[in-house]
Structure 1
C-alpha cells in the first residue's frame, strides 16, 4: 500500500512485507522476482522521501535528493536478508541515509576535501551549534570546540577552513568589505613574466664568472648600470666600436655555451 511521505513505514509492513522479503530470497531471477522487487521498492518510497526531507536546504534540489534516497532504498531492498534478526526498516534507514550523505560528500563539494577533513568539519559544526546553545551570544573558542568535538586545535582549524569549501563564490562576486566594482577575479594572479628572467640569470651566472674581467665589467656597465656604449668606451679609454664588438662577442659566447648545456 502506498502511503503519504510523512508515514514512517508502510501500513502493511507486518506480516506482508516480511513475507514478501522471505519470498524474494527464494525466487530465482526472472520476471516474477523483478515484479516483487519493484513492488517492495514502491511500497517503501514514502520512507525514502521522508529521510530525504532531512537534508533539504543544503544546496541540493528536492528532486535529486529523492532520487538519491530512492537509490539507497533499492540498495537496501537488494541487500536485505530477512533471515537475520533485523526488521527491514532498521536496515533500510541507515542504508538510505548513508547513500544521501555519500552523495553530499562526493558530489556537492566545490573543492576536493579529504574525507577526514570533511568529518572534522561536520564535528566542528555540531560542536559549534551545541556550544552556542550553552553559551548564547558568545562565539566558542577553538579550544572549547575541540574539547566538545574530541578534536585537537589543529583539527578544529582544518574543520573551520573546510566549512567555507562546500560552496564556491563566483569570480564576479565582490569580497566582503571590498570596494564597489572590485571582484574576486581582479585579485587573481597570472603568469609572472619575471620568472623567465630568473631562469636566464641563473643559467648565465656561472658562465659570466668565466669571462675575462674586462668583458664582465663591460657587460655589467651596459646591462646593469644601463650605460651607453660611448660612455663605456670613454670610461675604459677604448673606441665605441671596440666596446660594441666585445659586447656582441661576449653575448654570443654566453648564448652558445648555455645552449650546449641545455642539450
Structure 2
C-alpha cells in the first residue's frame, strides 16, 4: 500500500471516530458532554425534539392521527425540518437551482447556430408506445409525492423531479413535442412568488419570515402541517419547471 493511500485511510478512520463520538453527545444543563461510545441518551437528543415536533416547547409524545396543534404538524420528520425549521435555507436551495437553470440557458443561447432537436430520429417502438402510458402516470406519481410530502417520504423536490422526468421522456419519444418557454417561465415565476409570498406574510403576521401562520391540525391527516403543504406545492412546480427548462435547453442545443 502506498504511503498516501495509508495516510488517507488513517485520516478517514480518525474522522469516523470523531463522527461516531459526536453521535453520542448529550447536552447536560447547557453543557456538552461526550459519552462513552454507544451510550447516548436518545431521549435527550435534538433529533427526538424534531420527531416530537416540539423544538421550542416541552417534549411530548406524538400520537399519530391524535396529536393536534403541534409546532409543524407534519408526520414526516424530514418535511418538518426542510419546510418548517429551515425553510429559509430551502428557499436558498431552489434559488441556486434557478441560477443554474438560468446559467445553462444563457450559455447555450450564446450559440447563434440554428437549434436542432436531440430526438431527430424516430424513437423506438418501446419508447414511443410506453410514453403514452408512462407520461400521465409519471405526472400523477409526481403530484402524489409532493401533495403527500408532509405525511410520507417525498416532497416538492422529489415530486418536481418526477414531473420533469415525464417531460424528458416525452421530448425523447416525440421529436415534434415542444414546450412553450413562456409557460415554463410563468409556472416558475408563480411558484417563486407563492413561496416568497408565504414567507413575507409570515413575517408580517407573526414576526418571522416563513413562520407557520396557519393551523397545523392533527398529525397524519391530509389537511395538516399549516403552510408546509403550500410550500411543497410551490417547490414542486418551481423545481419541475426549472428542471424541465434545463432539459429542454440541453436537448435543443
* TM-score strictly above 0.5: no
What's the TM-score, normalizing by structure 2? Answer: 0.21
Q: Which has the higher helix share?
A: 1
Rg: which structure is higher? 1
Bigger RCO (CA 8 Å, 6+ sep): 2
What's the TM-score, normalizing by structure 1? Answer: 0.21
